[in-house]
């Protein structure tokens, strides 16, 4: 597995890799938007050797005007990753409760800071259990890692309005939230309903099913139907940059490693009351 860069790893592949003399570093990032904390799931059972890393407090910065899950402080993130045993150039596998969202944000974050050999366990914790593989409640004490965090290795749409609007103008800006949220009919979390003007709605279930990704060709067809064709600049956002990270991973699988993540997403967009808000079915400016 050493040096691999593919976004996904299947359960059987991971089991084989964990039996090697120098296995990959395992990060358990189970998380739910409305709780309870993923650490409780981790304590009840996890992959042997996995270290729990909290999405809200370790992989993201404090919520605020930059969004509910903004970029982390690089120095703080480096300390977290080193404490979890992440070593420079050494493979990392991340997994979550099965929907693939928190793991995708962890995958994206590690890639964003320049750590390329990171993969997401396809199907997450449920797939591991379904395969009848061993679990543990033991909390490991990994040797400190030496990874160096160098932000900027993946494209980001910054927290200003200009970048997101430009993405919609010059290419395709995907809004991967549910259609009623995009249309502005309901907003269960953020204070304003609607979408970034010009954004195209492609709800996550249209390209991923319960955390499982289809083949690359099927993904290319689904993104192409939303206007993402070869050479078209593409960015993605959701409510706070977690589901959209999964969209970016799907775009990588479809052959678009240049896809940009709007990290702050809608929670950042509506933090500024002067930013325009569109509603309805059809993207418009």
Tens of pLDDT, residue by residue, the chain (285 residues): 443 458 999 999 999 999 999 999 999 999 998 888 899 999 999 999 999 999 999 999 999 999 999 999 999 999 999 999 999 999 999 999 999 999 999 999 999 999 999 999 999 999 999 999 999 999 999 999 999 999 999 999 976 678 888 899 999 999 999 999 999 999 999 999 999 999 999 999 999 998 999 999 999 999 999 999 999 999 999 999 999 999 999 999 999 999 999 999 999 999 999 999 999 987 754
The reply to whether 44 falls in a domain is yes
DSSP assignment, residue 64? B
Rounded Cα–Cα distance for residues 86 and 74 (Å)? 15
Query: Which of residues 114, 130, 146 is at a domain's end?
Result: 130
- Judge if 165 and 92 occupy the same domain: no
Rounded Cα–Cα distance for residues 212 and 246 (Å)? 11
Q: What is the CATH number of the domain that holds 104?
A: 3.40.250.10
> How many beta carbons lie within 10 A of that of residue 218, not counting itself?
13
The reply to whether 135 falls in a domain is no
> Looking at the annotation, which residues are catalytic?
238
Whether the full predicted model's pTM is greater than 0.85, yes or no, is yes
The reply to whether 280 falls in a domain is no
Rounded Cα–Cα distance for residues 262 and 241 (Å)? 7
- Judge if 121 and 192 occupy the same domain: no
The reply to whether 36 falls in a domain is yes
- Judge if 70 and 178 occupy the same domain: no
Domain coverage including residue 175: 156-269
Rounded Cα–Cα distance for residues 84 and 237 (Å)? 28
The reply to whether 285 falls in a domain is no
pLDDT tens for 191-213 read 999 999 999 999 999 999 989 99
DSSP assignment, residue 205? G
């Amino acid at each position: 597995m050493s040096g691999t860069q593919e976004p996904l790893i299947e359960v059987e592949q991971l089991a084989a890799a964990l039996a090697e003399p120098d296995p990959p570093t395992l990060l358990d990032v189970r998380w739910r938007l409305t709780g309870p904390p993923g650490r409780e799931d981790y304590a009840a059972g996890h992959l042997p050797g996995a270290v729990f890393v909290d999405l809200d407090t370790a992989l993201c910065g404090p919520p605020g005007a930059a969004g509910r899950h903004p970029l982390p402080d690089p120095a703080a993130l480096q300390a977290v990753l080193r404490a979890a045993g992440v070593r420079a150039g050494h493979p990392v596998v991340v997994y979550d409760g099965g929907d693939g969202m928190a793991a995708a944000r962890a995958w994206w974050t590690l890639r964003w800071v320049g750590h390329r050999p990171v993969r997401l366990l396809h199907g997450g914790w449920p797939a591991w259990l379904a395969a009848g593989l061993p679990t543990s409640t033991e909390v490991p004490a990994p040797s400190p890692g030496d990874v160096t965090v160098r932000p900027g290795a993946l494209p980001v749409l910054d927290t200003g309005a200009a970048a997101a609007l430009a993405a919609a103008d010059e290419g395709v800006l995907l809004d991967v939230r549910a259609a009623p949220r995009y249309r502005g009919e309901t907003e269960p979390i953020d204070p304003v309903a609607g979408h970034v003007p010009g954004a195209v709605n492609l709800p996550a279930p249209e390209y991923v099913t319960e955390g499982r990704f289809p083949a690359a060709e099927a993904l290319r067809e689904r993104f192409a139907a939303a206007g993402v064709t070869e050479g078209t600049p593409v960015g993605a956002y959701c409510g706070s940059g977690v589901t959209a990270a999964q969209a970016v991973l799907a775009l990588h699988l479809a052959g678009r490693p240049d896809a940009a993540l709007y990290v702050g997403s809608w929670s950042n967009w509506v933090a500024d009351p002067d930013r325009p808000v569109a509603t309805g079915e059809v993207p418009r400016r």
